[in-house]
Amino acid sequence: MTPALVTAAPLAHWRWGAGEVAVVMLHGVGGGRDAWSDATSGTGAAVAGAGYLAIAPDLPGYGDSPPIAACTMAGLADTVVALVEHVGAARTVLVGHSMGGMIAQEVVARRPELVHALVLSGTSPAFGKPDGDWQRRFVAERLAPLDAGQGMAALAPGLARGMAAPDADPARVERCAAVMARVPEATYRASLHAIVGFDRRADLARLAVPVLCLAGEHDRNASPAVMQRMAQAIVGAEYVCLPGVGHLANMEAPAPFHAVLLDFLRRHVPVAATHA
């Protein structure tokens, strides 16, 4: 299924299929709309093939989406709200990976009536204190290669290998790196600073939609333990840990990722096409 590139929207995005339920897939700091593309993971096509409208946006500053004046979690969430309203589907599911999962939580906290189900992959409900020692070290370590003048193209291969599982398919890791290499350096820096200080832990118990927390066994950014605790704090949430998978789950292991995702969608936000 060939996607359409839509630029006349609050966020530029790939769009697959059609339907009454939109599945909006939000990428991480080192991502872009191609994290969900046919060449990288096939997630958009898999979701559309099950009868859903699949939307994979470039978040602000990525790909064909212009940056926003102040790159904050609130500002990023506002752009996703604008996209959801622009799409105008009867029901909307947010699928968020890493930073995208944080933005999805921010959207639900601000506009809960817009979201009918939530899939959180390799993410957490909090990053911590902006001035905390761990947070400062995390940002400093991520930015050190850029500060040394390497650039995103030089940074991406090592970053992708470090995020993937030890036994991940090298070809798939290379595709992940190619997506990361296309992220503008200014956007990467701004996004890293945006997630520092994110904390929606107090909102987890108030989530009133079906939630899937999807972890990777070898994820060192959002560990299975962190994601399991998050699921336990959400009434009725489901928790699944994919064996042999790292932080880049849908790109490392598309088949098991899609199987879990589509099973959740079919049970909680079914569409007529899934019952044909």
Task: Give me the CATH number covering residue 30.
Answer: 3.40.50.1820
Q: How far is CA 156 from CA 93, 123, 150, 162, 173, in A?
A: 30, 20, 10, 10, 10
Res 273: pLDDT: 47
Report the number of secondary-structure helices (H) and strands (E) in the chain. Answer: 10, 8
Flag whether 264 is in a domain: yes
Flag whether 94 is in a domain: yes
Flag whether 183 is in a domain: no
Flag whether 174 is in a domain: no
Closest CA to 43 of 99, 84, 107, 96: 96
CB under 8 Å, gap of 24 or more: what pairs does 72-76 form? 72/194, 73/102, 73/103, 73/106, 73/194, 73/195, 73/198, 74/106, 74/110, 76/103, 76/106, 76/194
Closest CA to 21 of 102, 159, 119, 155: 119
Res 127: pLDDT: 86
Flag whether 219 is in a domain: yes
What's the structural domain count of the chain?
1
Flag whether 149 is in a domain: no
Measured from the Cβ of residue 84, the count of other Cβ atoms closer than 10 Å reads 21
Q: How far is CA 85 from CA 81, 115, 254, in A?
A: 6, 11, 29
Res 274: pLDDT: 41
Question: Given strand 21-26, what is the order of strands in its sheet?
Answer: 4-6, 13-16, 53-57, 21-26, 91-97, 117-121, 211-216, 238-242
Res 144: pLDDT: 87
Interatomic CA distance for residues 211 and 10, integer angstroms: 26
Flag whether 84 is in a domain: yes
Res 95: pLDDT: 98
Q: Which structural domain range is residue 104 located in?
A: 4-126+199-275
Mean pLDDT, each 10-residue run in order, the chain (276 residues): 94 97 98 97 98 98 96 97 98 98 97 98 86 77 87 94 96 97 96 92 96 97 96 98 98 98 98 56
**Residues contacting 46, CB < 8 A, separation 6+:** 254, 258, 261, 262
Flag whether 131 is in a domain: no
H or E, element range at 155: helix 152-163
